[in-house]
Structure 1
Amino acid sequence: MVLSDTGSEENNSTLHQGKKYMVYDCSYAHGRECGGWSDRLSGMLSVYVISIMTNQTFLVNHDKPCPLQKFLDFRDHNWIYNQESLKKNNLSHQYLSFFCNVPAAVKSHRMKRLIVTFNRDVNFVRMNWDYTEHFRSMKGTGKVVPWITTLQYADIYKHFFNSLFKLKKEMSDYLDHVRGHKHFACAHIRMGESGMVRTTPAELGDIWRFLKKKEKQKFSIFVATDSNLVKKKARELFSRSLVDIHGVITHIDITNKDDQCAGFRKAILDFFMLTLCEELIITRSGFGIIAAYLRQHHTLYCLTRSGVVRCTRLTIHNIFPTPILSPF
C-alpha cells in the first residue's frame, strides 16, 4: 500500500508505469557502507520525507546483511521493493549515494531542486543522516510534511517508524518470552570503535552502580552493547538477575559470511528490548537514542560526564547536544 501524508492508500505491490519511486537502498547491488542501525533508520527517515516532498512512493531495498523484511513487517504501506517489477515495466532508474553527505538539493532548501535531482522513475538512494533541520528550512514543508515542522525529534521518529514498520510476530513473540512477567532496568552501553571512545571506564562504573541499585529493587537487568568485554562483565556482576538475548555481537555493516542474519537479528532484538524496559539508561549513541525515542515507558536516564542523570525522550538533545544522528 502507498500511504500519503494525508493517509490515502493505493496498491504498490508492484512498480507501475507513470509512477515514481524513492527507494531507500542498503543492498549488495551497490557496494560500500550503509552504517549501523541508527544510521539506517535516519537514512530511511530522510528518504521517506523526500518521497513525500516529491510525490513519490517510498520503498525499501534492504538485503545487507539480509532482507529487512525478515525482521520488520509493513503496516498499511507496503514498502518492500520488488526488483522483478523494475525489469518488467522497463522503468528508468538511478542510484545516488549520499552516505555521510548532504545532497546539494537538500542544502539548497528548495523543494523544486529535490524534484530535479530525484527525477527518474525509480530513484535508489543511500543516506545515513537525518536532514530534518534542512527540511524545516524549506519553504512549504509545513504544508507538505507538517509533522516534520511541528513535532520534536523524538516524536518525529516515533511517527515515522510507527506509520511504516512493526516487528515481525516471531520477533515479538520471542521478546515476550524473554521478558516474561519481569520488570527490567536496562542499559545501552556504546564503547565505540578503536580511537573513538564513547564510554570511559569511570563512566562504565557509574552505569554498574546504577544497575546494582536497580537489582536491589528487584529489577531484572538487560544490557545491550557493542563490546564483548562489557557483556562479560555484566554477566559477572549480575549473575542472578541478568537476562540476555543470545547471539554474536557484530556491527551490521561488518558481518561475517557465516553470520549473514544472526548478528542483525540480535541487533534488532536488542534494540526493541530497550524500547520495552520499564527503566532505561543510554549512552551517547544513535542506537540507544532512537530506542528511547520509540519507548512507551518514560523512566529514562542519560549517562553524562557528571554521571547518570534523569532525562526524557524530549530532552535527549539537551543532554547530548553534539549532533549524533546528523553530524553537520
Structure 2
Amino acid sequence: MTFRKVYTADSKTHGNESFISPPRVVFIIDGKTPHGGLSDRLRGLFSIYYYCKQRGYTFKVAWNYPFKLEDYLMPVHENWVADEADLTHDKKVVDFRFFNNYVGMSGHQADYFSLLDFKKPICHVYSSITQREDLYPAFFQELFKPAPRLEQAISQCLQEIGGKYITVSFRFIGILGDFKDHAGFGEELTVEEKRYYIKKSLACLEQLHMRHPQCYKIVVTTDSPYFLKLVKSLSYVYVIPGRLEHMDYAVVDDYEVHLKTFLDFMIITKAEKSYSYQYGKMYGATKFALTAALIGNNEYEVVKD
C-alpha cells in the first residue's frame, strides 16, 4: 500500500511508546483506502475489538474520515478514541496490518488472528473483515452510546413513526442513475427497466404491509433518492429525513449527511423485524440491514424475486 510510506524510522515519537503495556491496536478509518459503508466499517472495527479482547490488548479507534465516529457514537466505559501518541508513524514502535473483505479472505478466526499478531508496542490496522456476528449486540453495547444529537434524532423519528414498525432495505447501487457507489456492477438501467424494478420493489412493500398488519409503519431505507421520493407518498411508509451519500464519496464532514446514514442504521436496530429486498441487478451482498439487525438482536430476512 502506497500510504505505508508515511511510516518512517525517524518519525518523532513521544519517548515512551516502546514501554506501552499492554500493547494497543488502533483501528483506522482515514480515507487513504476505500473503507466501504457504515456496515463494512463497523464489521472491521468489531473484528479488531474482538481480537483485542481475546489477546488482552488495548483497543483504540482513529475513525476520522470523513467524520469523527465519536460525533455520532460515543464511548460507553473505556475511552477508545486514539490520541496523538497512538498515531505515531515511527516504524520502531508501530506495526501495520491491512485487510479487505473484498479480496475473498475467508475470515477464519485462527488465520485472521495469526495475521494480526504483532511484536511492537502499537499496531495500526485497516480491516473490514467479519468476526463473530453472534457477539455484535454485546460489542455494540460495550463500546457505544449515541451522541446527544444522534440520540435526539432517533427519539424524534420513533415519535413520528408512532408505534411498532418493520424496516425494508433496497440497495440499488446506482442502477437507477441517482447514486454513486463503487460496489456497482453494471450500467444504469434503461427507462423501462427502471420502471420494472420500481414496480417490483413497490409490490414487495405492499406484500410486507399485508404480512404485518400489527405494525403501524414500514420504514424504508435505500440508496436511491428517487425511490425514497416515490415511497414517501405511501400512507404506511415512513422515510427518515436527510440526504443520501456513500461514506467513501462524501468527502466533506457534513454532519447532516452522515446523520441520515446513522439514523437509518439505528432505526433498523429497534425494528420488530428487518428485511432486505433483492431482485436482478440489485446488490445482493449488502449487509447494512443485516448488521443493524444483528446489533439490535432482531429478526432479519432477505426477500428475493
CA contact (8 A) 1:248 1:266 kept: yes
Q: In the aligned structure 2, how far is the partner of 1:209 from the partner of 1:105?
A: 38
- In structure 1, the gaps of 5 or more residues are 1-13, 133-147, 306-328
Structure 2 counterpart SS, 1:161: helix
Map of 1:34 onto structure 2: 35
Map of 1:157 onto structure 2: 136
Q: 1:242 to 1:202 in 2, by over 3 A?
A: closer
Alignment pair present for 1:196 and 2:191 = no
Q: In the aligned structure 2, how far is the partner of 1:248 from the partner of 1:110?
A: 36
CA contact (8 A) 1:282 1:302 kept: yes
CA contact (8 A) 1:53 1:111 kept: no
Could you report, residue by residue, the CA deviation over 1:58-88 in whole angstroms, capped at 9, with x for unpaired residues? 111001110000010112232111115656x
Map of 1:166 onto structure 2: 145
- In structure 2, the gaps of 5 or more residues are 1-15, 176-183, 187-195, 278-283
Q: 1:54 to 1:104 in 2, by over 3 A?
A: farther
Q: In the aligned structure 2, how far is the partner of 1:62 from the partner of 1:112?
A: 24
Map of 1:124 onto structure 2: 124
- 1:96-111 matched pairs, under 5 angstroms: 96-99=97-100, 100-101=102-103, 109=111
Q: 1:111 to 1:273 in 2, by over 3 A?
A: closer
Structure 2 counterpart SS, 1:245: coil
Q: 1:109 to 1:95 in 2, by over 3 A?
A: closer
Letter in 2 for 1:196: F
Q: 1:214 to 1:185 in 2, by over 3 A?
A: farther
Superposition misfits of 4+ residues, deviation over 6 angstroms: 102-108
CA contact (8 A) 2:240 2:264 kept: yes
Q: In the aligned structure 1, how far is the partner of 2:148 from the partner of 2:156?
A: 12
Map of 2:20 onto structure 1: 18
Could you report, residue by residue, the CA deviation over 1:135-165 in whole angstroms, capped at 9, with x for unpaired residues? xxxxxxxxxxxxx5xxxx3x22222222212
Letter in 1 for 2:241: H
Structure 2 counterpart SS, 1:294: helix
- What displacement does 1:166 show? 1.9
Identity across matched positions, percent = 21
CA contact (8 A) 1:38 1:290 kept: yes
Q: In the aligned structure 1, how far is the partner of 2:47 from the partner of 2:240?
A: 30
CA contact (8 A) 1:215 1:221 kept: no
Q: TM-score, normalised by structure 2?
A: 0.73
**2:155 alignment partner, one of 151, 161, 176:** 176
Q: 1:71 to 1:105 in 2, by over 3 A?
A: closer
Q: In the aligned structure 2, how far is the partner of 1:186 from the partner of 1:25?
A: 30
Q: In the aligned structure 2, how far is the partner of 1:165 from the partner of 1:90?
A: 31
Letter in 1 for 2:20: G
Q: 1:187 to 1:113 in 2, by over 3 A?
A: closer
- What displacement does 1:95 show? 3.5
Q: 1:122 to 1:269 in 2, by over 3 A?
A: same
Higher relative contact order (CA 8 A, sep 6+): 2
CA contact (8 A) 1:54 1:114 kept: no
- 1:72-151 matched pairs, under 5 angstroms: 72-84=73-85, 92-99=93-100, 100-101=102-103, 109=111, 114-115=116-117, 118-130=118-130, 132=131, 148=132
Alignment pair present for 1:302 and 2:302 = yes
Q: 1:98 to 1:210 in 2, by over 3 A?
A: same
Letter in 1 for 2:129: W
Structure 2 counterpart SS, 1:288: helix
Could you report, residue by residue, the CA deviation over 1:263-312 in whole angstroms, capped at 9, with x for unpaired residues? 222101110011112343224421011111122554x442123xxxxxxx
Q: 1:221 to 1:102 in 2, by over 3 A?
A: closer
**1:280 alignment partner, one of 253, 263, 274:** 274
- What displacement does 1:168 show? 1.9
Letter in 2 for 1:304: K
- What displacement does 1:202 show? 6.2
Alignment pair present for 1:242 and 2:260 = no
Could you report, residue by residue, the CA deviation over 1:118-145 in whole angstroms, capped at 9, with x for unpaired residues? 2222211101121x3xxxxxxxxxxxxx
Q: In the aligned structure 2, how far is the partner of 1:103 from the partner of 1:216?
A: 42
- What displacement does 1:244 show? 2.8
CA contact (8 A) 2:17 2:121 kept: no
